[in-house]
Structure 1
């Protein structure tokens, strides 16, 4: 049985994610990319023209996103993400995702059908 990584402090989480991009797969199989910029802005992209800018922050071991026009959503962050390794988590709003931190210089391929990813990430109905 693998031992669980020790919990990281908020500054350690910020340092580990700053300037990094993650590939996020939603429970319905759609994929998007989220970039965590060092200035606290976040950029989410996907097929179908999805292109959103918001803010990311870390508080009490939770990675939180504030997307324009959407309620805040936070994800538990139990340990460091290893590039290429998939981690499943459930948000404060019940959203289940699988996240893969991309390696430096890696670009992520995003699958088709992401027109409604932003509203799905916020837990709203997707048409």
Structure 2
């Protein structure tokens, strides 16, 4: 019950990070204040900046987009603003490690290589 209440409190702060079974750091904590480089199969690169309280900024060339991020059910999810809100989730079973590329495919079928910077 205590972990559930803590998880609800963290979610209320905007991060929606849930504690793993057995304790330890909440999923996604290694991302806060860090950036990740994403490269698509066709070579397009973008950079995500993970901010506190579940905020994220994506840089695509000269364009910048603000959104929200959270972790839940072994997934890392994003919601991007604008008139047509877009939500996309990616598998997230283990923390990202700085400098190590990881290939992931989203629930929308997008495949990228992610490297935590």
Task: Give the TM-score of the pair, scaled to structure 2.
Answer: 0.74
Greater fraction of residues in strand = 2
State how far apart, in whole Å, the 1-side matches of 2:36 and 2:105 are. 16
Aligned residue runs from structure 1 range 23-34, under 5 A: 23-34=37-48
Q: Flag as ranges the 4+ runs of structure 1 deviating above 2 A.
A: 8-12
Structure 2 spans left out of the alignment, 5+ residues: 1-18
Give the secondary-structure state (helix, strand or coil) at the position aligned to 2:52: coil
Give the secondary-structure state (helix, strand or coil) at the position aligned to 1:88: strand
State how far apart, in whole Å, the 2-side matches of 1:62 and 1:54 are. 16
Q: Counterpart in 1 of 2:98? A: 83
Q: Counterpart in 2 of 1:52? A: 65
Match of 2:55 among 29, 41, 63: 41
How many residues align? The count is: 94
Shift of 1:46: 2.2
Task: Give the TM-score of the pair, scaled to structure 1.
Answer: 0.69
Q: Counterpart in 2 of 1:18? A: 32
Q: Can you list the C-alpha shifts for 1:96-121, whole angstroms capped at 9, x where unaligned?
A: 0000000xxxxxxxxxxxxxxxxxxx
Structure 1 spans left out of the alignment, 5+ residues: 1-7, 103-127
Q: Counterpart in 2 of 1:71? A: 86
